[in-house]
Structure 1
């Protein structure tokens, strides 16, 4: 129990003066927090929380910010046994309200401008999940909210797989991990700070990767002696396009990517230009951490394949529902100590996704005779936009709440840079003169820019529906693909974009 809290406390005891987090981005550039600093500040924040009205043994909420008090606040909440629901400040108001209504936290913690407590549902009984680290939502849909309870035991076990992969692929233990992405959710925490804590490695927080900052990416890694990085494919593409060349005389870091489908072209361009393997990791929030960490080819560079599972059991189930023995293709199912125990307060979704202890991922893979896996598609109605899993129904619900919208259908898109996004077909109520841009702006306000679709197209025709009035997804995508001057849908794009190395 509380393995991650014990991990931090053990590092503070054994290596109190070693750096745990170094900030190289404004407004905190130059700040160094040691392992002892994190735990000492956690005690101070714990007292502040209690004085502000926080309670122990209940669900809380934490607004995420790139602030030095983030990790100490998590430690303090773990000490109180008040695991937080993680809130991204860039979410829209409707999405945040939906998540708070579903999770009913007793209090909310803000980090900016200072640690403050706001009471929320003091009279609501709180069914705090046992051994919980935090609660992360993969979908804020009001009709089908999906939240993962990350427990200390499962997350620690999954992160041991991360550590094993670091040691196996690098040969030595990394000591400095770079974080170059915004603090937005559980994935960013787990792929950097949790990985670093279990490794006993320092996390260096660099400027967020953008078009403007990508140029100096490699020089920042070299200056800070970084020996491991993790970038989502969209950020890899920024480095490919806008960074200066890497100094090939300086040993390079161990490079991972994941959290969204990787284009073979993006991987090939990265490896050819910078001379480093880019390992294609794979996992879901439901597996607490990554489960596969890529595959090294005979030429010393990584292939597009995700490799073999590190610490989980994996099997494939074909379209007929049979377990695939040996080489073959089917939906990936995973089991093991790091696999979640079910969605928070959503037994129906749990029953559909977790069957006899096996997680149905919704992702399709092909396995060769050596047991090496390659992703070839996705069966779920979800899109990986950056590091977010966004369900099409979530966008449709938000659109349907607009007073001028009669019906809406979201479609998964593949953009020109091989990243994924969402389009939305909208039919207006009779007599409405609302413009597509107005609907799009409304969706951005409701969902936040990162979860909203990139394009809204108005249609006068009824949307294709089948039994029980459900949208017929293939027909919706076919209609979208018939439109002029729009990004193409994901139909068949896994196979047509190239098989990779």
Structure 2
């Protein structure tokens, strides 16, 4: 079983059940399954074959759902990419990911046109037309196809090839500690098992109406708010963009039962004066992930809106869910919960030996959800997958009842509104500026986004100003990766070998605030 065969199964069992609702548009499972087959056939007519890599650069929309499932039904491998990435960031993934076709917004059409000249494997661009694109007068070149055109050309009876569980379904690019993103290869078995095991653990079924406010290109939304409900006959309430007002209105109008978000979203919802307990009265569960939620926020939110928040844990390499606070036992604020069905978590020392209850070590995971490896990175794969376990790099402890607690995150990682930012990625950009001698980046608390990026720079050009350097970063980094502030220093703290000490910068910053 895989995502697309299960979708077809649900379409036969519940043909008239709503699969998704988007901006007032309602689509049944029968209609969705037919659209998926038509789009898969349309892709096949363009020369896309089983095993080809297709990049998906779309926001939350029906086109994302149809594009994803259509490509999977054809047996292609999907590479979801954040459409607000810079051309440089997108270009790296398209090149490294050996992408043959892209499906994206018309606003990105000029980028696709230029990219084809630099990417020899890129043969096809399928474009989704938008009102913004029409306003800007963006027109499609003769080489491009519109999404609607590809969909209309296909046959709804198209079944696609028989797929193997071990075939790579999706490659998710995650920021790497060495600067360049790594592509985690997730198989059909990885994605389907994690969607079903998460759904079983949280009791997601055909009666649920799940708000998809998180970006669908992010694995948290992909599994928890899209695949899990679709695999069980639920309805996905698609939000094109998150806002507190829109979320409260959608929950009330569509009688939502589940909301999944990152702590930043819960903070915005809690602070929004227009939200009431009546808006969320149909919710049976809120799900939080992507970053640790402050216990005070969790308790305040639950008290204000009379709804339970279940905090969990996951990572792209595990499709992503490994833990959730259970619904049939006491929930422990501050904990990521217990292992979900079919997934094992344990805490080990540097030798891979399990540590006693209560002691801190590295969290490792194994199960049918764990990735096949990193695309074209055998050394990184061998380092992450050892003795059958995925090494997360996160420090954790487990209590006597099997609840896990994250003690510290991956070394130096910064989480901005649920998105991972690795300091070196930002530092590489800063170092590329001719006026910069040295740079170091750390995360600092932010009341709205959890953390913000703070950069320390030693400059060789006295006239170099903060705004100049920030503008330089904005051209080369996604918005959430751009430093919120740049501080200039005469020198950066280093150890005896000359290594820059980010920890010392954090300590200096903390001391200055006392």
TM range (shorter): 0.7 to 0.9
1:279 matches 2:310: yes
Partner in structure 2 of residue 391 of structure 1: 422
Give secondary structure in 1 for the equivalent of 2:255: coil
**Corresponding residue of 1:108:** 102
1:444–1:35 distance in 2 versus 1, CA, 3 Å: same
Higher mean Cα deviation, 11-20 or 283-292?
11-20
Whether 1:435 aligns to 2:465 is yes
Aligned residue for 2:154? none
Q: Is the contact between residue 158 and residue 290 of structure 1 (CA under 8 Å) also seen in structure 2? A: yes
Q: Contact 2:179–2:422 (CA<8 Å) still a contact in 1?
A: no
1:86 and 2:80 matched: yes
Alignment counterpart, residue 292 of structure 1, candidates 309, 318, 323: 323
2:366 aligns with one of 335, 353, 358: 335
Cα pair 1:69 1:111 within 8 Å, conserved: no
Once structures 1 and 2 are overlaid, which stretch shifts more, 115-124 or 439-448?
A: 115-124
Pairing 1:401–2:432 present: yes
- Please tell me whether residue 194 in structure 1 is matched to residue 227 in structure 2: yes
* CA distance in structure 2 between the partners assigned to 1:95 and 1:398 by the alignment: 12
SS state of the match for residue 163, structure 1?
helix
In the other structure, the counterpart of 2:260 is 230
Aligned residues: 468
Q: Which runs of 5+ in 1 are unaligned?
A: 24-28, 489-501
Mapped contact 1:148–1:344 kept (Cα < 8 A): yes
**1:69 aligned counterpart, secondary structure:** helix
Structure 2 alignment gaps of length 5 or more:
124-163
Given the alignment, which residue of 388, 401, 404 partners 1:370?
A: 401
Partner SS for 2:40: helix
Q: Can you list the C-alpha shifts for 1:40-95, whole angstroms capped at 9, x where unaligned?
A: 22233334434555444322212122332211111221233221221211112222
* 1:231, distance to aligned residue in structure 2 (A): 1.1
Please give the TM-score of this superposition, normalised by the length of structure 2: 0.82
Aligned in 2, Cα 1:462/1:308: closer, same or farther, shift over 3 Å?
Answer: closer
- 8 Å CA contact 1:278, 1:302 repeated in 2: no
Deviations 1:341-394 (A, max 9, x none): 221122222222222121121222222211222222224231222232221211
Rate the CA distance shift 1:258–1:69 in 2: closer, same or farther, 3 A: same
> Closer, same or farther in 2 for the Cα pair 1:478/1:302, shift >3 Å?
closer
Contact 1:316 1:329 (C-alpha < 8 Å) held by counterparts: yes
Report the CA distance between 1:241 and its aligned residue: 0.4
Within the candidate set 22, 29, 38, 1:35 is matched to 29
Equivalences for residues 84-483 of structure 1 within 5 A: 84-112=78-106, 120=116, 121-122=119-120, 131-139=167-175, 144-167=180-203, 174-206=207-239, 208-210=241-243, 214-215=244-245, 217-242=247-272, 243-247=274-278, 250-295=281-326, 303-311=333-341, 312-318=343-349, 322-417=353-448, 419-428=450-459, 430-467=460-497, 469-482=498-511
Distance 1:334 1:135, change over 3 A: same
Rounded to whole Å, the distance in 2 between the matches of 1:368 and 1:107 is 48
Following TM superposition, by how much is the alpha carbon of 1:187 offset from its aligned partner in structure 2, in angstroms?
A: 2.8
Aligned CA RMSD, in angstroms, stands at 3.1
Q: TM-score, normalised by structure 1?
A: 0.84
Q: Match for residue 46 of structure 1?
A: 40
**Structure 1 residues 209 and 145: CA distance shift in structure 2, 3 A:** closer
Contact 1:177 1:229 in 2 (8 A): yes
**How far does residue 445 in structure 1 lie from its aligned partner after superposition?**
2.1
Tell me how far apart the structure 1 counterparts of residues 280 and 216 of structure 2 sit (CA, whole Å): 32
Query: Could you tell me how far 1:177 is from its partner in structure 2?
Result: 0.6
